[in-house]
A and B are shown apart, each in its own frame.
Chain A
Amino acid sequence: MIEIRLHGRGGQGAVTASRILATAAYEEGKYSQAIPMYGTERRGAPLTAYVRIDEKRVRERELVHNPDYSLCMDPLLSTQQAVADSVKPGGVVLLNSPMKPEDSKLAGDIKIATVDATSIALETLGRPITNTAILGAFVKVTGVLKVESINKAILKYYPGRVGEMNIAAVKKSYELVKGPVQAKVKEAPKIEVDLNVGGYGVLKDVSSWRVFTPKVDEAKCTGCKTCWIFCPENALEWGEDKKPHMISRVCKGCGVCANECPVKAIEMVRVEI
């Protein structure tokens, strides 16, 4: 049996990716199972999904605790040791990251591969939805499934033009993936990061959810407070200078402020990794 763990954020399509993998496996005559880990996830929050592929009907209902492969669809989560933890010895960790696999600091008896899925997604889909952009790399690195079956499965979920765009993302990630190489760091640092956090945004640091971050042009800003009124997370503080200031730990990077600003004084800027 092959077991796969997928890390991502709500909105990146990790759950759909798990279903595409399960469908592709069945297309190849294998049995499969795609399990989403449901808590109180929502757009932007880290979440996990799992896939099992086997020759016979999968009966187990526990979560996948020791995967053969771990896929991370988010560039910031890709720096967290938790995405590599409990992977079977010799297993492959595939990261969405612009860095070379040799530069990853993830530790353990694992092989690391990297692909800049966010850039591929932005180019082919125009949005940072990285689920299909990582699947081409997955097939190339692991050889678990065929690209044709992945594409067939994608068209079941996204028929027509959207499907073709996603297939283009698969092709590109298949070509651009780097690795896998043996991880250099042997011993994992002892940091407990829960990549499946539920709970409420106001109580925790959500700064890592942002793909884009608001940047205020203070010269253009008239201080009308429209952004401050519309911010769904109270992430804008009103300064003594009568201008909005982002509270980093609360802002999810949704872009509502930039959208509502009547003088277009707020720009959403891609977060540097």
Chain B
Amino acid sequence: MSYEVMVGNKACATGVKLARVKVASAFPITPQTTITEYLSDMYAAGEFDFDFVNVEGELTSQVVVQAATAVGARSFTCTSGPGLLYMHHPMQETASKRLPLVMAVVHRGVKGMQPDHSDLMSQQWQGWIHLYVENAQEILDTCVMAYKIAEDKRIRLPVAFGYDGYVLSYTAEPVEIPAQEEVDKFLPPYKPMPSILPDEADPATFGRGFGDADPQKPWQVHHEAALTAEPVIKEVFAEWAKKFGRSYGNGMIDPYRIDDAEAVLTAMGTIAGSAMSAVDKLRADGKKVGLVKIRSFLPFPRNDFREIAKRIGAFGIIDRSCQPGMGGPTWHQMRSTLYGQPGPQILGFYAGLGGKEVRVDDIIKIGEKTLKAAKGQKVEPLVEWV
């Protein structure tokens, strides 16, 4: 094991190297671009041998790594904001073909350059697993774990992990780099997988022919696979924690001081880091507020939240994206998760959209309002813009 003070994007490139990726393809867009620059440096220095395919846009980069994964090369791509939107179309195909690809999404908003989660949130229907990451160490660790999750035969789904651009992608902090041999023991070489359903035709097709007259079948199979991802994610994170001594909750959620909490905040990405400081300050004032860092948004940690909901008075949900006319995606997921069980109030907070700085003091106010609701006092409005 060694260490280096490195920026988030270098931690990502290091994770790609440790996962022994064979093929990468990406199109430059700030703040993602330096990932591929770091990969090039590693190649030039003779540290990492892989093939990089230059392309004319994100759509093609997704198609390239899709094909590479299909023929048996562990592959990687990365993008940001509008680049991800341009990748929308082939992303569905990657997931439908059940190709275990891993993609880093360095969050950049779609209404400007600064970060929010609107890019990855807009891809919820593509049938990928969506993980959200808070710090540079977690980027490196998650990158390796993502391959293990994606390549698990029970799910075989592509994984996108997102981390906030600028505030994390360019911030340098100490990162422990596990030894390559240790990572090799954790992540065995990737072997190409056969088509998800056997195709008797000759020549066989990959992904499309379900040999079934029911056109709904591909959706049903896909949905069922996505639903089985939760135990796999938990297993992989538990194994990582055991081998490398760094844990991120149970992989789905990473709770912080919630055991005796009356009110619990939820946040994703870098906001969760600042929220930990906010919780410490609230606790120092005797205010029993906890935090759940949501690590997996898709699948949503329903079972965990149903348990937590039984013992608290209110959730304060921080969303870093908003679907106009619908609202915050986490807030919606939480209400849907807890529907039909008597439980806490669910307050919503929009924060950090368009890259607006989320300060610890902002989160303290969110915590205080949620605590008020938890104590049964009336709070208004139910959902607010911070």
List residues of chain A with CB under 8 Å of any chain B CB. Answer: 18-19, 22-23, 26, 31-36, 38, 57-63, 65, 153, 156
Q: How far is the CA of A26 from the CA of B173 in the complex (A)?
A: 9
| A–B pairs, 28, beta carbons within 8 Å | A22-B173, A22-B174, A23-B5, A26-B3, A31-B174, A32-B174, A33-B171, A34-B5, A34-B172, A35-B170, A36-B170, A36-B171, A38-B166, A38-B170, A59-B135, A59-B273, A59-B274, A60-B273, A60-B277, A60-B360, A61-B168, A61-B273, A61-B274, A62-B274, A62-B358, A62-B359, A62-B360, A65-B359
- Could you say which residues of chain B place their CB within 8 Å of the CB of A19? 5, 172
- Could you say which residues of chain B place their CB within 8 Å of the CB of A153? 5
Q: Which residue of B lies closest to A26 (CB)?
A: B174
Contact B273 A63 (CB under 8 A): no
B276 within 8 A of A: yes
18 additional A-B pairs beyond A31-B173, A61-B271, A62-B359, beta carbons within 8 Å, are: A18-B172, A19-B172, A22-B172, A32-B5, A32-B174, A34-B171, A35-B171, A36-B170, A38-B170, A59-B276, A59-B277, A60-B273, A60-B277, A60-B360, A61-B274, A62-B357, A65-B359, A153-B5
B258 within 8 A of A: no
- Could you say which residues of chain A place their CB within 8 Å of the CB of B172? 18-19, 22-23, 33-34
- Could you say which residues of chain B place their CB within 8 Å of the CB of A35? 167, 170-171
- Known contacts A26-B3, A62-B357, A62-B360; A32 and B273 CB within 8 A of each other: no
Q: Which 3 A-B pairs have the closest CB atoms?
A: A61-B270, A34-B172, A59-B273
- Could you say which residues of chain B place their CB within 8 Å of the CB of A59? 135, 273-274, 276-277
Q: How far is the CA of A156 from the CA of B6 in the complex (A)?
A: 11
Interface residue from B4, B167, B173, B360 paired with A34 (Cβ < 8 Å): B173
Q: How far is the CA of A32 from the CA of B4 in the complex (A)?
A: 11
Q: Which residue of B lies closest to A63 (CB)?
A: B357
Q: In chain B, residues 319-366, which have Cβ atoms closer than 8 Å to a Cβ of chain A?
A: 357-360
Q: How far is the CA of A83 from the CA of B170 in the complex (A)?
A: 23
Q: How far is the CB of B277 from chain A (nearest CB, A)?
A: 5
Q: How far is the CA of A32 from the CA of B359 in the complex (A)?
A: 19
Contact string against A for B residues 1-43, beta-carbon threshold 8 Å, 1 for contact and 0 otherwise = 0011100000000000000000000000001000000000000
Contact B273 A26 (CB under 8 A): no
Contact B358 A22 (CB under 8 A): no
Total number of residue pairs linking A and B with CB closer than 8 Å:
61
Contact B271 A26 (CB under 8 A): no
- Could you say which residues of chain B place their CB within 8 Å of the CB of A60? 273-274, 277, 360
Contact B173 A61 (CB under 8 A): no
Q: How far is the CA of A65 from the CA of B360 in the complex (A)?
A: 11
Q: How large is the interface on B (under 10, 10 to 19, 20 to 34, 35 or more residues)?
A: 20 to 34
Q: How far is the CB of A175 from chain B (nearest CB, A)?
A: 27
Contact B5 A26 (CB under 8 A): yes
Contact string against A for B residues 167-185, beta-carbon threshold 8 Å, 1 for contact and 0 otherwise = 1101111100000000000
Q: Which residue of A lies closest to B136 (CB)?
A: A33
Q: Which residue of B lies closest to A20 (CB)?
A: B5
Q: How far is the CA of A23 from the CA of B359 in the complex (A)?
A: 25
- Could you say which residues of chain B place their CB within 8 Å of the CB of A31? 173-174
Q: How far is the CB of A39 from chain B (nearest CB, A)?
A: 9
Contact string against A for B residues 265-276, beta-carbon threshold 8 Å, 1 for contact and 0 otherwise = 000001101101
Q: How far is the CA of A239 from the CA of B26 in the complex (A)?
A: 49
Q: How far is the CB of B221 from chain A (nearest CB, A)?
A: 39
Q: How far is the CA of A59 from the CA of B174 in the complex (A)?
A: 12
Contact A58 B173 (CB under 8 A): yes
Q: How far is the CB of A240 from chain B (nearest CB, A)?
A: 44
Q: In chain B, residues 158-205, which have Cβ atoms closer than 8 Å to a Cβ of chain A?
A: 164, 166-168, 170-174
Q: How far is the CA of A58 from the CA of B5 in the complex (A)?
A: 13
Q: How far is the CA of A188 from the CA of B270 in the complex (A)?
A: 35
Q: How far is the CA of A59 from the CA of B280 in the complex (A)?
A: 11
- Could you say which residues of chain A place their CB within 8 Å of the CB of B276? 59
Q: Which residue of A lies closest to B361 (CB)?
A: A62
Q: How far is the CA of A206 from the CA of B270 in the complex (A)?
A: 34
- Could you say which residues of chain A place their CB within 8 Å of the CB of B358? 61-62
Q: How far is the CA of A43 from the CA of B211 in the complex (A)?
A: 60
- Could you say which residues of chain A place their CB within 8 Å of the CB of B273? 59-61
Contact A22 B271 (CB under 8 A): no
Q: How far is the CA of A62 from the CA of B361 in the complex (A)?
A: 10
- Could you say which residues of chain B place their CB within 8 Å of the CB of A156? 4
- Could you say which residues of chain A place their CB within 8 Å of the CB of B359? 62, 65
Q: Which residue of B lies closest to A35 (CB)?
A: B171
Q: Which residue of A lies closest to B273 (CB)?
A: A59
Q: Which residue of B lies closest to A50 (CB)?
A: B171
Among B168, B170, B173: residue with most chain A CB under 10 A: B173
Q: Which residue of B lies closest to A65 (CB)?
A: B359
Q: How far is the CA of A63 from the CA of B166 in the complex (A)?
A: 12
Q: How far is the CA of A60 from the CA of B168 in the complex (A)?
A: 11
Contact B167 A61 (CB under 8 A): yes
Q: How far is the CB of A262 from chain B (nearest CB, A)?
A: 37
Q: How far is the CB of A211 from chain B (nearest CB, A)?
A: 26
Contact B274 A32 (CB under 8 A): no
Contact B171 A32 (CB under 8 A): no
- Could you say which residues of chain A place their CB within 8 Å of the CB of B174? 22, 26, 31-32
- Could you say which residues of chain A place their CB within 8 Å of the CB of B360? 60, 62
Q: How far is the CB of B86 from chain A (nearest CB, A)?
A: 23
Among B31, B171, B274, B358: residue with most chain A CB under 10 A: B171
Among B3, B167, B172, B358: residue with most chain A CB under 10 A: B172
Q: How far is the CB of B153 from chain A (nearest CB, A)?
A: 35
Q: Which residue of B lies closest to A27 (CB)?
A: B5
Q: How far is the CA of A32 from the CA of B5 in the complex (A)?
A: 9
Q: How far is the CB of B276 from chain A (nearest CB, A)?
A: 5
Q: How far is the CB of A13 from chain B (nearest CB, A)?
A: 14
Q: How far is the CA of A97 from the CA of B306 in the complex (A)?
A: 61
Contact B277 A32 (CB under 8 A): no
- Known contacts A61-B168, A61-B270; A33 and B173 CB within 8 A of each other: yes
Among A23, A57, A60, A62: residue with most chain B CB under 10 A: A62
Q: How far is the CB of A152 from chain B (nearest CB, A)?
A: 12
